[in-house]
Structure 1
C-alpha cells in the first residue's frame, strides 16, 4: 500500500515536471530567467508575507472548527498543523483528496483526539473554503467586466462559465448531501466496511476492525460534521477567515506581477486564483503544473496590457513558488517532528 502510494507520488511529480517543461519552453527559458532575475526582491518578499497570511488565516479557521468539535489547539499549533496539511496535499496525488487522511492522522496525534474527528475538521475546512472562493470569483468577474472589454476570447468565456457553474453546482451538491446525510452515511458504511476489513488483513501488526467498530467511527465522523454545520458562530468565523486566506493569495499574485514589473488589476486576481485552484484536483501532487497552466491560460486570455506569455509565466512562478514551497518546506518539517515524537512515545 505504501509502495503504491510512493509510486503514484513519483509519477505525479514526473507529470508535473513535464507540464513545467512545456510551460518554460513556451515562455522561452532565457526570457523567463531574465524576468525572474530582474524581479523586485522587496515585492517578492511581500509575496512571501502574503503566503504566511494565507496559511495563518486558514490555520485559524481549522482552529475554530476544532474548537467547535471540542478540541483545543493553540494559535501556533493551528498554524503549523495547517502547514503540515498543505505539505500532505502538495506531495500526494489529487491534492486535498489525497492529503486529508494524512492530515487527519496528524491532527489526532497532536491533539490526542479520535481520527474521525480530525478528518471531519479538515474536511469541513476544505469544504468551507469553496464558498468564499466562488463568491470572490463572481465579484472579480463582475468588476472586471465593468472595467474592461473581455473581447471574444474563447478561453476566458469558458472560465466565466466555469465560475457560474460552480456558483450553482457546489451549493446544490452540499445541500443535497446535507439533506440526505443519513442515507449517505448508511451507504458509506455498506461500501467502506468490507474494503477496510480486506485491507487490514494484508497489513502487518494491524488488527482487523469489527463491523461495529467501523460503523461507530463513520458515525462519529458524520456527527462531527453535523456539529460544525449547526454552529452558526463557528461557521461565520471560519468563512470569514477562509475569505481572508483567499484574499492573501490573490494579493500574492497581484504583488508577483508588480515584482516582475507589469502590474495587473486586482480584479483579475480575484477570479483567476479561485479558478486556478480547481486544477488542484488533478492527479498532480498539490496541483503542481496544473494550477500554473490554468493561471497562465487565463492571464494570457484576458486583455491585459503588456502581459505576454513569458511575463505571465514568470509572475506565476514567483506566486506559486511561494504558495507551493513555503508550506511544503515548513509543513514537511512539522510532519517530521510529529512523526519522530510519535515513534518515541
Structure 2
C-alpha cells in the first residue's frame, strides 16, 4: 500500500470513528452497553452463521461468473477469494470502488488468470448484486406504501432508491454503448501519465499504447461474454438474491437477540438502504452504514423500537457482516501476499 492510499485509508477510518462516536453520543454509551449485555449469545451466534451463508451465496455468484469466463475455481477457493474481496472493500475507502482493483489481483493469483479477466469478473458480480438489492428495496417500499403513510424521511429514502434504480443502469448502458470512446480516452489520458511517472521512478517500464488497448479490449470482451450468458446471469442473480436474504435474516435475528422483534418485511427496505451508504469515502461504509440503518429504522412506522435498541441490533448485525469477512479475508490476503514474494 503506497503512502497516498495509506493516508486515504487512515482518514477514512478516522471519519468512520467520528460518525460512530456521534451515534454513541446521541444514543448513550451506557444504555447501549446495557442492551448489548442482555443479548442472547445463541442468537448472536446464529447471526454469525447467517453471515457465513451470505458469504457462501455471493461466492457462488463469483464462481458462476468465473465459470462463464472459462476460469474454473472450486467453491471453497471462491469462498476464500470472495472473503478476500470483502476484506479489501472493508479496509479501503469507497467500498467496492476502492476494493475492486485489489480483488481483481486476488482472483488473478488464485485462479492463475489475467488481471483484466479478474477485474471483469468482480465488476460483473458487483453489478449483478446491485439488481436484487434495488428490486427488494422497491418491493419493501411498495409494501409499506400500502400499509402506512410515508413520512418525509421515508419518502426521501424511497426517492433515493428510485433514482438509483434508474440512474445506475442508465449509466452502465451509456458507458457500454460508448466503450470504444472510453477506451480511447483512457489510453490518451493515462498512458502519457504513466510514462511520466516511469521516467521519474524507473522501477517499472511504461506500457505501450497497444498493450493498454489490448488489456482494455480483453476486459470489455470478458464483460460481453458474461452479459450474453443468460444461464450464468440467472444463476448468479439467484445466488446474489439469496445472499441479500441472508443479510436481511441477520439483521432480523439481531433484533431477536435483544428481545426487540421487528417485522421481517422491514428488512426488505432497511438492508439495501444501508448498503447504499457503502459508496461513502468511509472504509467498508463503516459508520455511514450504521447511521443510515438506524435512521431508516427510526423512520419506519412499523418498527416501534427505541434508537438504543435499533443501534444495538445494528451493532450486532454489522459486527458480523463487517468483521467475519475481515478476519477470513485478511488471512487470505496475507497468504496470497506471502506467496507472491516467496
Say yes or no: TM over 0.5: yes
- Tell me by how many angstroms 1:109 deviates: 1.1
Q: Partner of 2:191 in structure 1? A: 193
Q: Partner of 1:293 in structure 2? A: 291
Q: Helix, strand or coil for the counterpart of 1:18?
A: helix
Which has the larger displacement, 294-303 or 177-186?
177-186
Q: Partner of 1:140 in structure 2? A: 140
Q: Partner of 1:303 in structure 2? A: 301
- Tell me by how many angstroms 1:328 deviates: 0.6
What do the CA deviations read for 1:94-135 (whole angstroms, capped 9, x no partner)? 111111001111111111111111011111111111111111
- Tell me by how many angstroms 1:188 deviates: 2.7
Is contact 2:266-2:302 (8 Å) kept?
Answer: no
Long gaps (5+) in structure 2: none
What do the CA deviations read for 1:186-245 (whole angstroms, capped 9, x no partner)? 333323322333344455532211111111111111111111111111111111111111
Q: Partner of 2:37 in structure 1? A: 37
State the distance in 1 between where 2:195 and 2:38 align: 57
Q: Partner of 2:148 in structure 1? A: 149
Q: Partner of 2:62 in structure 1? A: 62
Is contact 1:84-1:335 (8 Å) kept?
Answer: yes
Is contact 1:95-1:285 (8 Å) kept?
Answer: yes
Q: Helix, strand or coil for the counterpart of 1:57?
A: helix
Q: Helix, strand or coil for the counterpart of 1:283?
A: coil
CA-atom RMSD in angstroms: 1.4
Q: Partner of 2:81 in structure 1? A: 81
Q: Partner of 2:23 in structure 1? A: 23
Q: Helix, strand or coil for the counterpart of 2:93?
A: coil
Q: Partner of 1:164 in structure 2? A: 162
- Tell me by how many angstroms 1:171 deviates: 2.2
Runs of 4+ in 1 over 4 A off after TM superposition: none
Q: TM-score, normalised by structure 2?
A: 0.96
Long gaps (5+) in structure 1: none
Is contact 1:141-1:267 (8 Å) kept?
Answer: no
Is contact 2:183-2:213 (8 Å) kept?
Answer: no
State the distance in 2 between where 1:339 and 1:193 align: 27
Is contact 1:104-1:119 (8 Å) kept?
Answer: yes
Instruction: Report the count of equivalent residues.
Output: 342
